[in-house]
Structures are given as C-alpha cells and as structure tokens.
C-alpha cells in the first residue's frame, strides 16, 4: 500500500548510535537509510513511500545505545496526519506523546495479516471523526 511518511530523529550526542542507520542494511526489518540533517543537536531524517518497508522501525530505534535516551525525540508524519506525531523514550520504549488538540484515529484491523498494520492518523480534535475510524486501537500489530 502506498502511503508516504517522514520520520525525523532528534537525539543529542547520538552520532555513533545513528551512524549504522545511515547505511543500507538488508538484515533490518525496515528498509532505507537515514540522512543527517546537519543540526547542532543531532538530527536525521528518512522518508518511506510504502507502509511495509517501515515495519519494525520503532523497535529498532528503541534497541540503540542512546547516550541520553530521555532526550530522544522521534517525529513522524504520515501523509494523512494533520501534524507530526512525537514519540519519546519512556521506560525503554518509544511511546507516543499526546499532543494538545489532536488524537490518533484507527481504521478497523484487516481480516488477515496479508497487509501491514495501519498506524492510523493524527487528527485534529475539533474536526469530525471520519467514517470507519475510531480512537480505539483496532489492529494490535505494531505499525512502526
């Protein structure tokens, strides 16, 4: 399924942790490589054009030896999101941080595992919930 998404990782002093992710590696569950942003704080970006090649990205990022895990910020924007979502480390897990005025909506889970899990959409709370979506997580497989 085609669905463009951008991911930005901001992490101070994390050049050594992120360096392997700037090279292609077919052994990873996700495909692609991060590009350095050239920020003084340490930033990297990757863009995905399909959902399946990004599966496992968050678990991989969680496994890295971050020098300051409490400062790691992962910003993700799926093409249907109203804004970037924010994930930060909490007890060793990248967890989505609720953003004021927004909520994550989810479509129903597919009938089979043939299709990758859908991350849902980050939606303004002041707009109506689109048909077929809910605030309850309906596909238990991790989307990232």
pLDDT recorded at residue 85: 94
Average pLDDT for residues 105-112, to the nearest whole number?
Answer: 80
Query: In sequence order, which residues have a C-beta less than 8 Å from that of residue 129 and are 6 or more positions away?
Result: 105, 123, 135
CA distance 129 to 67: 40
In this prediction, residue 52 carries a pLDDT of: 64
Confidence of residue 115 (pLDDT cuts 50, 70, 90): confident
CA distance 5 to 76: 7
pLDDT digits (tens, 9 = 90+) for 7-39: 999 999 999 999 999 999 999 988 999 999 988
- 43-50: strand order across its sheet: 35-36, 43-50, 2-10, 73-78, 85-90, 93-97
Stated pTM of the model: 0.88
Closest CA to 46 of 38, 71, 87, 54: 54
Quick check: 141 pLDDT over 80?
Answer: no
């Amino acid at each position: 399924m085609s669905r463009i998404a951008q991911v930005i990782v901001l992490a101070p002093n994390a050049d050594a942790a992120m360096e392997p992710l700037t090279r292609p590696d077919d052994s990873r569950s996700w495909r692609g490589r991060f590009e350095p942003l050239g920020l003084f704080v340490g930033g990297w970006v990757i863009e995905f054009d399909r959902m399946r090649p990004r599966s496992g990205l968050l678990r991989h990022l969680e496994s890295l030896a971050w020098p300051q895990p409490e400062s790691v910020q992962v910003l993700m924007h799926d093409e249907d999101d109203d804004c970037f979502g924010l994930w930060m480390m909490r007890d060793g897990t990248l967890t989505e941080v609720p953003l004021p005025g927004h909520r994550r909506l989810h479509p129903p889970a597919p009938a089979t595992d043939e299709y990758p899990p859908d991350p849902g959409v980050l939606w303004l709370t002041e707009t109506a919930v689109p048909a077929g979506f809910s605030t309850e997580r309906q596909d238990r497989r991790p989307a990232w």
